[in-house]
Every structure is written in structure tokens, then in C-alpha cells.
Amino acid sequence: MAGYSVEERAAPHSLEYRLFFKDAAGRYISPFHDIPIYADPGKNVFNMVVEVPRWTNAKMEIATKDPLNPIKQDVKKGKLRYVANVFPHKGYIWNYGAIPQTWEDPGHKDENTGCCGDNDPIDVCEIGSKVCSRGEVIKVKVLGTLALIDEGETDWKIIAINVEDPEADNYNDINDVRRMKPGYLEATVDWFRRYKVPDGKPENQFAFNGEFKDRDFAVNVIKCTHEHWKALIAKKTDGGEINCTNLTVSDSPFCCSQECAKATVDADECGASQTFLQRLLLALSHLGDGNQNRVCVKG
């Protein structure tokens, strides 16, 4: 994991679950702001933070509005979110994640799509043979991109492959995916088009009629989102509720000490424990309603 490690707090598939990141020295960091965008700038190899391993269904994501941006499960209307198995697919059909130090600015109208950004780091679909682990940081070679229009927002999906994949040398552009994995790009469009339909939402739309753009186009999109992130972290752009606390961007007004970072993690754990206790007490109070389900605590 390129010297990075993760620390789980609370149980997976719970509202309290958090996955915090540490650097090689064991210091807490933000995967959004402190992991460099580039693994190898000269070769346009980027770092990718894996949020969702292939074939799984829990909608995990970097919590952009939380201090230190741990990975947690997305929540809608108080319920944990899962993507449905949309035939013939099982869960996510790639290792899914984000490139750190990128941001799709909701105040910037994309010149290619005519829509503003979705307020998140740029998404990556990694197509290699290995099923990665949640929180793993891998080095990826960019191959192309798909422009999803999600509820009126630009939501770029970068297609990439792990540089350590046995077949990585055979992939250098989007046409190599078409040649080496027939049907995979079509399946990707189908997945993104229909994955919200089981939740009662309409099919998603795409810019460029769902056509994939090539590697150079994709790399340029990533570089643009990196510039937007730089403005965000320097407070030159209003990020709204985005939490920019970081430990490594020295000229950022949001840069904090490791002591501050550790206190943030400890406070989050304390808050999660309180939330769990509140829910437990609520459940017990419901059990105590009526005469047949009475809870008796003996002293």
C-alpha cells in the first residue's frame, strides 16, 4: 500500500464504521488531501484510493465533509446505502475508488459536458484482475474516461489499471480495453446507466452519447480537477461543507498537527460510541413498551 495503512473503527455495515488512514510513520492523514495525486508524474501514473472492492455492494466512500476524510458507508434517509445487483452484474464490476488531491468543483461548469462538478474527488474504475481491499492505495495507469451526468452534475469515471497487474503492459489506451476485454466497456456504461433504477430513480445520462474518451483526454480532466483541489485546499475557492483538514499541505490554512489529527480520530470514536449507546437505549425502551416485552434489569 505504498507505505499507507488503515485503521478500522466500529463494525463494518454500521452507521459508526470508519476507516482512518495512516502514513508510513503511523501518523493519521487524510486520504483526500495528504496522499499525493501522482505515483509517477513522468509516466502519468496516479495514486488511487480503493473505496469499494470489486463484486461488493456496500456504497463506501471518502467522507469529504468529515475531519480527516475517513472512508465510511454512504447514508440516505438514515439508512446505509448498497447498490443492487443489476442483472447480469454482481455489485461493483471493478475496483472502485478515487484519485486523491482532485475535486470536481460544483461551482465550475465543465466546458465539455456543460454541467458543474459533483463536489467529490474524481472517481476511478480499476479493471485489473486483482480484487483489491477497502482502503488500499494502488498505483494506476489511466486508459480513458466516461462522462456520467448524475442528476445534472458532471461525474467523470476514469478507466484505469493497476500498474502491478500481470497484463498492465498490454494496456495503454482505451482501445486496448476494447481489444483485451471485449464487452467490458459496454458493461460499464450499462452499469452506470441502470444502477440507481432499483432505488426508483431514472436511468443516468452521459455526455458524448456514452462514448469513452482516450487516455490523453482523461489525464487532462484529472489535471483540471487537481487544479480545482489546489484552489480548495488554499481556500481560494469556497468548498462549503468540504472538510480540508490536512497534515502535509504546508501552505494550506487547513494544515494541522498530528496531535490535532489524533484528537480528531479519538473524538470521532467517542461520538460513535455515544451514538451506538443512544440507539441501544432506544431499542431497549421499545422492548419495554407493553406488558409482554418488558425489560427487567436486576440490581
Q: Is the peptide bond before 88 cis (omega within 30 degrees of 0)?
A: yes
**Does residue 63 fall inside a structural domain?**
yes
What local confidence, expressed as pLDDT, does residue 267 receive?
85
In CATH, what number is assigned to the domain containing residue 126? 3.90.80.10
What local confidence, expressed as pLDDT, does residue 293 receive?
36
**Does residue 98 fall inside a structural domain?**
yes
What local confidence, expressed as pLDDT, does residue 177 receive?
98
Q: Which parts of the chain sit beneath pLDDT 70?
A: 1-2, 269-299
Angle at 71 between CA 161 and CA 249, to 5 degrees: 85
d(CA 231, CA 105) in angstroms, rounded, equals: 10
**Does residue 295 fall inside a structural domain?**
no
**Does residue 55 fall inside a structural domain?**
yes
**Does residue 145 fall inside a structural domain?**
yes
**Structural domain total, the chain:** 1
Predicted model pTM: 0.89
What local confidence, expressed as pLDDT, does residue 299 receive?
32
**Does residue 291 fall inside a structural domain?**
no
Per-residue pLDDT tens over the stretch 121-160? 999 999 999 999 999 999 999 999 999 998 899 999 999 9
**Does residue 292 fall inside a structural domain?**
no
**CA 199 and chain centroid, separation:** 20
Q: Is 68 in contact with 20 (CB distance < 8 Å)?
A: yes
**Does residue 267 fall inside a structural domain?**
yes
What local confidence, expressed as pLDDT, does residue 141 receive?
98
**Which domain, by its residues, includes 253?**
5-285
Angle at 176 between CA 158 and CA 127, to 5 degrees: 45
3-state secondary structure the chain: CCCCEEEEECCCCCCCCEEEEECCCCCEECCCCCCCCEEEHHHCEEEEEEEECCCCCECEEECCCCCCCCEEECEECCEECECCCCCCCCCCCCEEEECCCCCCCCCCECCCCCCEECCCCCEEEECCCCCCCCCCEEEEEEEEEEEEEECCEEEEEEEEEECCCCCHHHCCCHHHHHHHCCCHHHHHHHHHHHCCHHHCCCCCEEHHHHCCECHHHHHHHHHHHHHHHHHHHCCCCCCCCCCCCECCCCCCCCECCHHHHHHHHHHHHHHHHHHHHHHHHHHHHHHCCCCCCCCCCCC
CA distances from residue 260 to 65, 82, 134, 152, 230 in whole angstroms, order as listed: 17, 33, 25, 38, 22
List the beta bridge partners of residue 47.
139
